A and B are shown apart, each in its own frame.
Chain A
Amino acid sequence: MIEYVIMIFLAISVTFNMLGSIALHRFPDVYTRLHGATKCTTFGTIFATFAVILHAIVRLKETGNPKYLQMALHSAVALLALLLTNPVGAHAIAKASHMSGYLPKRAVVDAYLEKRREKRNE
């Protein structure tokens, strides 16, 4: 029974990671690609980690071997680190590309560009 839950989690994870990769091909510029690269891969990796934790808990109950406890805890720590660093990295890439003059394509409004122009004119 629990194996099927783990399989479903892994299937969700792989699906969203695949969608993130497709997003890199389909979207027109760096900002929209970052949407795919940050959101889909974070969500996919969360489910992969859930699957690992669930598997470790099941094995821990079966065998009582403490190495499965370590496996679950370390995966949880890795998940927290991922949740903290992924948005920060995306923000840094987006800001750096805007600063170096790579503007969003097909944009209907660019408030940040106007703000930077105002700042330069002052």
Chain B
Amino acid sequence: MSFIAAFVWSYFLWLVLTAGSKGMLWSPQELIAGLLFSAIVGYATRNIIGEKASRFLNPVKWVLFIAYAPVLFWGMTRANLDVAYRVITGKIRPGIVRVPVNLDNDAQYTILGNSITLTPGTLTIEACPEEKALYVHWINIPEGLEWPESSEPVSGPFEKWARRLGE
């Protein structure tokens, strides 16, 4: 199963990278070479990707990822206006806070950690799945939020999204 997932995704990437080799489509040489190289990549990485590889082929997940893109982009826009304001005025109140989160597997921690890094004023320093917490550097901690009780003030809607995407 992990071979098939890796194969499909490498072939997809190959098709994207070689589009336009014959008119707007693909020349047969490119298609055959792509099959060969995707098979090599799939075989070489079959033990690395692991058993849950089938979730990469789930169309519901793709739709969710596409729906997630505008949410992330809006978060990034706010983050950048916020950082721009702090760069110009120099008003910061930095610190590292412990954020308790309620997630189950590594994929969810990866998605949430990366989303937090890309969004307002926060930078993930460490993820601790064993104590269900993220350590986040926050550039402007509001008064009274030095020890947040939930991830809501730090990550907004992203914990919900991460749980849905990484199942």
**Residues of chain A at the chain B interface (Cβ within 8 Å):** 16, 19, 22-23, 26-29, 31-32, 34-36, 38-40, 42-43, 46, 66-67, 69-70, 73-74, 76-77, 83-84, 86-88, 90-91, 94-95, 98, 104-113, 115
Bound-complex Cα distance A44 to B19 (A): 27
Cβ contacts under 8 Å, B76 to chain A: 39, 42-43, 46
Beta-carbon contacts under 8 Å, B71-96 to A: 76-77, 79-80, 83-84, 86-88, 90, 92-96
* Interface SS of B by simple majority: mixed
Contact between A110 and B113, CB atoms less than 8 A apart:
no
Q: Does B56 contact A (CB under 8 A)?
A: no
Bound-complex Cα distance A105 to B92 (A): 11
* Interface SS of A by simple majority: helix
Bound-complex Cα distance A87 to B94 (A): 19
Contact between B92 and A115, CB atoms less than 8 A apart:
no
Q: Does B48 contact A (CB under 8 A)?
A: no
Total number of B residues with any Cβ neighbor in A under 8 Å:
41
Given contacts A19-B83, A35-B83, A98-B125, contact A106 B114 (CB under 8 A): no
Cβ contacts under 8 Å, A28 to chain B: 92
Most buried by A among B23, B93, B117: B117
Bound-complex Cα distance A29 to B135 (A): 18
Contact between A31 and B84, CB atoms less than 8 A apart:
no
Q: Does B43 contact A (CB under 8 A)?
A: no
Bound-complex Cα distance A70 to B87 (A): 37
Q: Does B49 contact A (CB under 8 A)?
A: no
Contact between B117 and A91, CB atoms less than 8 A apart:
yes
The answer, among A36, A66, A91, for a CB contact under 8 Å with B124, is A91
Bound-complex Cα distance A74 to B16 (A): 8
